[in-house]
Structure 1
Amino acid sequence: MYQTRITPAALSVETAAGFPRALDRLAEENLGAHHFLRSCWFGAGAADGETLLVHDEVGAPLIAIPTTAFGPALLGARKVPGSYWPFRSVLAARGAQAEHFAAALASPESRKLGASWRLGPVPANDPAAQLLVTGARAAGWTILTQRAGTIWTIDLDAHRDRGWPSKSTARKLRRYEARTGELGQVEWRYVRGSEWDESALEQMGSVETASWVGTQTDGSGAKFMKPHQRALWRSALSDPVLADMLCATILLIDGRAVAFTFDLDDGPVQYGIAGSYISDLRDYHVGKLTNYRAIADAIADGQSVMDMGAGDSGYKREMGAVPAYDLVDLLFVKNPLAARALRGWWERGAA
């Protein structure tokens, strides 16, 4: 661990190995909420890492920029790690200001970030990321921006107020449930907190294997299909706080998992991380039954927003989702000439 004092701001900047527990403290009071941005969230799937930590004048953590190696080792680039969704971001306590980021990114410790480092996808309106961008520019960094999609959300409060689902949708769901019941014994499994076990991860992986992701792609977009994908989430679930935030709704027929949703509850917001169903049962609408069950549970639990991630093939809109905010992928480059050379490549979507 290396430490540098910055004056006149009386901040302390250090580079800590890995993803220290100070991240958990910052996550609890993070400027942008996003309380899931904890040590195990960053560490899941990242073999090694470092964290640029900024402490205030009394030694309390103020800012954290966790990173891991990114791209060819020869380039020395780094990125903020974490699962693709909900997203990645830096951490900032409520008292953090752009000038604090500027001081940190102008300090000798910032050299450990490399000549370039990546943050994304991140909400374009994320308060911590906005302070970071402002501070980084003041410290002489160039920030290249790539659009990474538009997020769709469902207003659960509105659904709750007017009654959800609608009568016509409820009739359809009852028909789907009755038809699904003809296939065998229907069972719903709910997993959260201490209920997480290997069987839940394997059940979701078996669904992905028999879904279009497993049968029509190389499986890289799956979350649980392959051992290394399950290992990432197993690592995140080792944190009891994250285990309580992460939840799964699994539909089984005669003991066989046929559909699931995998979500993260962060205060009033539920993030839909993943969901899938067995392709052979698409005509039974098992995926729709599971999605609607997860939304009904979120409404019953008093949550306000279902954040369903980027893009929509039509099913999100059908459930009442609307475009809400944009995601961006940011590349921070120290050398202005290098930034000029990389700009077109990055902004065309090279990442």
Structure 2
Amino acid sequence: MYESRIAADRLTVTAVEGFPPEIDALAARNLAGHSFLRAAWYAAPAPKAGRTLLLRREADGALLAAIPTIPFGPAMARARKVPGSYWPLRSPLIAPDCTAVELAHALDRRLNREVARSLGPVWRVGPARADGPATTLLIAAAQLAGWSVLARPAGTSWVIDLAAARTRGWPSAASARKLRAAWRKLEALGTPRWRHVRGAEWNSGVLENLGRIEAQSWIGQTTDGSGAKFMTPAQRAVWQNALGDPVLAENLSATILLLDDRQVAFSFDLDDGAVQYGIAGSYADDLKHLGIGRLANYRAVADAIAEGQSVMDLGVGDTGYKRMMGAVAGYDMVDLLFVHSGTAAALLAKAWGPALPAPSPATLAITPEQAAHG
């Protein structure tokens, strides 16, 4: 661990090995609003490879930012990235009252070698929400600290307005008929039923069962399986690590469709207050003609509506079935690369994407809390 105090601004920057408990405290009140961005969330992909940069106000010890990173790319490049269990939700933690100027101190490589080592000469954030206040502030602070920020599009996330769906009734009459027909087809083959897993009900056996469903799906039958979440021990280990945190175990849920004793489809989701993120879903390919994937997806939405949530965020890609469920384009995702060397930035921009323009004076002067209140 190394501390650097900036007396004029009364700030303390600390480089810490691993994923310290301070992360959990800031997760409860971070600018992005994601309470699940806890130490276990960041640590899940590489529990022993983490390094975290912490920024505090010295006067009261208030934590202003936490930037966890793990190695990224070839070791010789010394690049780092902000990790996360689920790829669209990889963002540093920033307190709502942290300014761009304050955050820039934590990103300034001139402070000391330990801070430089925490971020490396190149570090990645994303994919992340392009219009998120935490993303906007991070970009401005990094540029102020001398980093070039390269950006490339990472798709558009599709969302369902659950509040509107609750008002008009879910599902539609036409969809309800199709779902009932699918259920009757399953009843002709056996006894269909639902299983819901959350909190203390999570265990390695559940993850293995989800992996078996993926192995029977198109992703297991026609691809190399790299896009699966549970098929391999390594893929399951990421989620097993995250689920070791009781808070995350409550946030994460699985809606599983069984036919007799066979588990044939699932929806794997993340609750974040009023928002539910659809992380993954899969179904046995030999039963796809029975609409089992649709049944699992619609059940997850119906449960979210019943629990009072406002938005179902289905992520990027596969727009066909999402449109059918009533999803619309919600917001753009961006993949960011922070490069300290101007020469390296110019070279990397050819493959990654162009450098973003410098921040406006308003971005640097107005705190996120002030901006939120107009």
Query: Which segment drifts farther, 315-324 or 191-200?
Result: 191-200
What is the rounded CA distance, in whole Å, between the counterparts of 1:303 and 1:16 in structure 2? 36
1:111 is aligned to 116
1:265 equivalent in alignment to 2:271: yes
1:18 is aligned to 18
Is the contact made by 1:11 and 1:54 (CA closer than 8 Å) also made in structure 2? yes
User: Quick one: percent identity of the two aligned structures?
Assistant: 56
| 1:85 Cα deviation from its structure 2 partner | 3.5
1:314 is aligned to 320
2:29 is aligned to 29
What is the rounded CA distance, in whole Å, between the counterparts of 1:56 and 1:127 in structure 2? 21
Partner amino acid, structure 2, of 1:110: V
1:55 is aligned to 56
What is the rounded CA distance, in whole Å, between the counterparts of 1:284 and 1:182 in structure 2? 11
Match of 2:257 among 251, 256, 275: 251
2:82 is aligned to 80
2:195 is aligned to 189
What is the rounded CA distance, in whole Å, between the counterparts of 2:150 and 2:239 in structure 1? 30
Is the contact made by 2:18 and 2:50 (CA closer than 8 Å) also made in structure 1? yes
User: Structure 2: 5+ residue runs without aligned partners?
Assistant: 355-374
Query: Which segment drifts farther, 76-85 or 200-209?
Result: 76-85
1:170 is aligned to 176
Give TM-score, length-normalised by structure 2: 0.91
Is the contact made by 2:87 and 2:126 (CA closer than 8 Å) also made in structure 1? no
Partner amino acid, structure 2, of 1:304: S
| 1:110 Cα deviation from its structure 2 partner | 3.0
Q: For residues 136-285 of structure 1, what are the structure 2 equivalents within 5 Å?
A: 136-285=142-291
What is the rounded CA distance, in whole Å, between the counterparts of 2:106 and 2:201 in structure 1? 41
Q: Indicate the SS of the match to 1:347.
A: coil
What is the rounded CA distance, in whole Å, between the counterparts of 1:134 and 1:98 in structure 2? 6
1:97 is aligned to 99
What is the rounded CA distance, in whole Å, between the counterparts of 1:81 and 1:137 in structure 2? 21
1:64-118 Cα offsets, whole Å, 9 max, x none, are 1100111111110010011234410010111111111111111324311111100
1:333 is aligned to 339
Is the contact made by 2:100 and 2:137 (CA closer than 8 Å) also made in structure 1? yes
Q: Indicate the SS of the match to 2:181.
A: helix
Is the contact made by 1:207 and 1:277 (CA closer than 8 Å) also made in structure 2? yes
What is the rounded CA distance, in whole Å, between the counterparts of 1:156 and 1:84 in structure 2? 22
What is the rounded CA distance, in whole Å, between the counterparts of 1:331 and 1:257 in structure 2? 41
What is the rounded CA distance, in whole Å, between the counterparts of 1:228 and 1:136 in structure 2? 33
Is the contact made by 2:85 and 2:242 (CA closer than 8 Å) also made in structure 1? no
1:130-163 Cα offsets, whole Å, 9 max, x none, are 1111011011100000110000000000000111
Match of 1:130 among 136, 141, 146: 136
Partner amino acid, structure 1, of 2:56: H
| 1:8 Cα deviation from its structure 2 partner | 1.8
1:120 is aligned to 126
Please identify runs of 4+ aligned residues in structure 1 that moved more than 3 A: none
2:41 is aligned to 41
Query: Which segment drifts farther, 197-206 or 70-79?
Result: 197-206
1:194-245 Cα offsets, whole Å, 9 max, x none, are 1112221111100000001101111110000101111110000000000000
Give TM-score, length-normalised by structure 1: 0.97
Is the contact made by 1:187 and 1:255 (CA closer than 8 Å) also made in structure 2? no
What is the rounded CA distance, in whole Å, between the counterparts of 1:124 and 1:7 in structure 2? 34
Is the contact made by 2:14 and 2:115 (CA closer than 8 Å) also made in structure 1? no
Q: Indicate the SS of the match to 1:125.
A: coil
Partner amino acid, structure 2, of 1:315: Y
C-alpha RMSD of the superposition = 1.1
What is the rounded CA distance, in whole Å, between the counterparts of 2:67 and 2:132 in structure 1? 15
1:4 is aligned to 4
What is the rounded CA distance, in whole Å, between the counterparts of 1:258 and 1:227 in structure 2? 20
| 1:30 Cα deviation from its structure 2 partner | 0.7
What is the rounded CA distance, in whole Å, between the counterparts of 1:174 and 1:84 in structure 2? 33
Count of residue correspondences = 348
What is the rounded CA distance, in whole Å, between the counterparts of 1:54 and 1:171 in structure 2? 55
| 1:325 Cα deviation from its structure 2 partner | 0.4
Q: Indicate the SS of the match to 2:125.
A: strand
Q: Indicate the SS of the match to 1:62.
A: strand
| 1:53 Cα deviation from its structure 2 partner | 0.4
Q: Indicate the SS of the match to 2:115.
A: helix
Query: Which segment drifts farther, 105-114 or 75-84?
Result: 105-114
What is the rounded CA distance, in whole Å, between the counterparts of 1:313 and 1:29 in structure 2? 32
Is the contact made by 1:14 and 1:52 (CA closer than 8 Å) also made in structure 2? yes
What is the rounded CA distance, in whole Å, between the counterparts of 2:337 and 2:125 in structure 1? 6
User: Structure 1: 5+ residue runs without aligned partners?
Assistant: none
